[in-house]
Amino acid sequence: MSRRLSWLLVLFVGVGALAVGATRDRGPLDPGDRIDAISRRIACPVCDGESVYESRNPASEAIRSAIREGVRAGALDDDTVIAGVAEAYGAQVLLVPRATGLDALAWALPVTAAVVAIAALGATFRRWRAESAAIGEATEEDRRIVERLRASADDAAEEP
């Protein structure tokens, strides 16, 4: 019982730490920080595996200038600026997918599959442990049978 309680405590602390980290507010960002944060969430349409923030490609420069204009307009929030870039360049430039529709499903399915697989493994190991406990310890008769089989296997191996 104490083992389950300790695992439950570890799970609770882990989930709590993730929740605090994900919801922590860093306070208001200045325009430069907003531009950098948005640029990190958008992929360079030409480069492979780089964000607009990292890339110095002319296409990335154009996207950064569009982001800069959207942020300096002042009335647009970050999601609106990102939606404008995605509309202009296509949804494939989003490094962080939208939280709706197929994008959300594409992120949720692997996580769900991993959770189900881990739960299935846990259930299987628990069943195996219960089955081995039900079998019990080997008896003297079991040990004699194994010794006879080993001896006959050794005799068969020695014969040409």
Handedness of CA 64, 67, 68, 69 (dihedral sign): positive
* pLDDT tens-place string over residues 118-154: 999 999 999 999 888 888 888 899 999 999 999 998 8
Which residue matches tokens 């919801």?
23
Listed by start position, the domains of the chain span: 29-96, 104-158
Q: What is the DSSP letter of 51?
A: B
Q: Using CA atoms, how far apart are residues 62 and 100, in angstroms rounded to an integer?
A: 27
pLDDT given for residue 104 in this prediction: 74
Contact between 42 and 65 under an 8 Å Cβ cutoff? The reply is no
User: Could you tell me what percentage of the chain is helix, strand and coil, using 3-state DSSP and rounding each to the nearest 5?
Assistant: 75, 0, 25
pLDDT given for residue 160 in this prediction: 64
pLDDT given for residue 136 in this prediction: 81
Contact between 64 and 45 under an 8 Å Cβ cutoff? The reply is no
User: SS3 for 41?
Assistant: coil
End-to-end CA distance of the chain: 57
Handedness of CA 98, 99, 102, 105 (dihedral sign): positive
* pLDDT tens-place string over residues 1-10: 577 888 888 8
User: SS3 for 49?
Assistant: coil
Looking at the DSSP assignment, which residues form a beta bridge with residue 42? 94
Q: Using CA atoms, how far apart are residues 60 and 52, in angstroms rounded to an integer?
A: 5
Which one is the CATH code of 29-96: 3.40.1440, 1.10.10, 3.30.43, 1.10.8? 1.10.8
